[in-house]
């Protein structure tokens, strides 16, 4: 029986901010995969990516998921660079309610353009690059249990939508 939520989606969709609020509303523990990786490795996500590459980063993400799957009720925000393959997504769906947060490319661009901590997005990257990355990732994200576009909603509206979905799916337990 699933009792935990995992938030996936492109960077800048609000996974961490929403995850913290959602966990609070549900009385659950909150985990941010990037923070968990940084605790274990002693490096920032960007440093792990630069020093060890994408394969190591994916390995660390998988270890975080394995550890968090042991918690009975929690909300996990996966980093914006997390991209499971379909097989991994099916594993996640067996253990978590997988919620994919999305936003329009121009909204994403505005949200992430001022930050320097995105290893796969550089300040010089343009909208076309973001659109391309989003299209590639959408093939996975659209297979989540629930998908929600955060472009035009405030945090409270987003939380209400997710709570409605979660409570509907868990009401018969």
Q: Would you write out the chain's pLDDT as a tens digit for each of its 173 residues?
A: 688 999 999 988 999 999 999 999 999 999 999 999 999 899 998 898 889 988 888 888 888 888 887 887 899 999 877 777 788 888 889 889 999 999 999 998 888 876 655 545 555 557 788 888 888 888 888 999 999 999 999 999 999 999 999 989 888 66
The whole-number pLDDT of residue 1 equals 62
DSSP bridge pairs for 100 = 8, 147
The whole-number pLDDT of residue 79 equals 83
Q: Is residue 155 part of a domain?
A: yes
Q: Is residue 172 part of a domain?
A: no
Q: Is residue 69 part of a domain?
A: yes
Q: Which two tokens stand for residue 64?
A: 């975080």
Q: Residue 53 and residue 135: Cα distance in Å, rounded? A: 22
Q: Is residue 94 part of a domain?
A: yes
6 with 99: CB under 8 angstroms?
yes
The whole-number pLDDT of residue 115 equals 63
94: helix, strand or coil = helix
The pTM of this model reads 0.88
CA nearest to 119, candidates 62, 27, 34: 34
Q: Is residue 109 part of a domain?
A: yes
> Which range of residues forms the domain containing residue 60?
5-166
Q: Is residue 115 part of a domain?
A: yes
Long-range contacts of 118-127 (CB under 8 A, 24+ apart): 118/11, 118/46, 118/80, 118/81, 119/45, 119/46, 119/49, 119/50, 119/57, 119/81, 120/11, 120/49, 120/81, 121/11
DSSP bridge pairs for 152 = none
92 with 64: CB under 8 angstroms?
no
Q: What CATH number does residue 74 fall under?
A: 3.40.50.300
Domain count, the chain: 1
Q: Is residue 71 part of a domain?
A: yes
Q: Is residue 171 part of a domain?
A: no
Cβ-based burial of 167 (10 A; exposed 0-12, middle 13-18, buried ≥19): exposed
The whole-number pLDDT of residue 122 equals 54
């Amino acid at each position: 029986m699933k009792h935990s939520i995992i938030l996936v989606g492109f960077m800048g969709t609000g996974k961490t901010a929403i995850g913290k609020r959602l966990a609070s509303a549900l009385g659950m523990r909150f985990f941010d995969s990037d923070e968990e990786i940084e605790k274990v490795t002693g490096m920032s996500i960007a440093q792990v990516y630069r020093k060890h590459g994408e394969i190591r980063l994916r390995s660390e993400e998988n270890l975080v998921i394995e550890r968090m799957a042991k918690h009975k009720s929690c909300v996990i925000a996966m980093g914006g660079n997390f991209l499971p393959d379909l097989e991994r997504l099916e594993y996640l769906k067996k253990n978590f309610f997988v919620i994919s947060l999305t936003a329009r490319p121009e909204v994403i661009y505005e949200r992430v353009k001022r930050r320097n901590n995105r290893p796969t997005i550089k300040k010089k990257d343009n909208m076309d690059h973001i659109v391309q990355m989003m299209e590639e990732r959408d093939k996975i994200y659209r297979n989540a249990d629930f998908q929600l576009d955060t472009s035009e909603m405030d945090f409270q509206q987003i939380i209400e939508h997710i709570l409605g979905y979660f409570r509907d799916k868990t009401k018969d337990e």
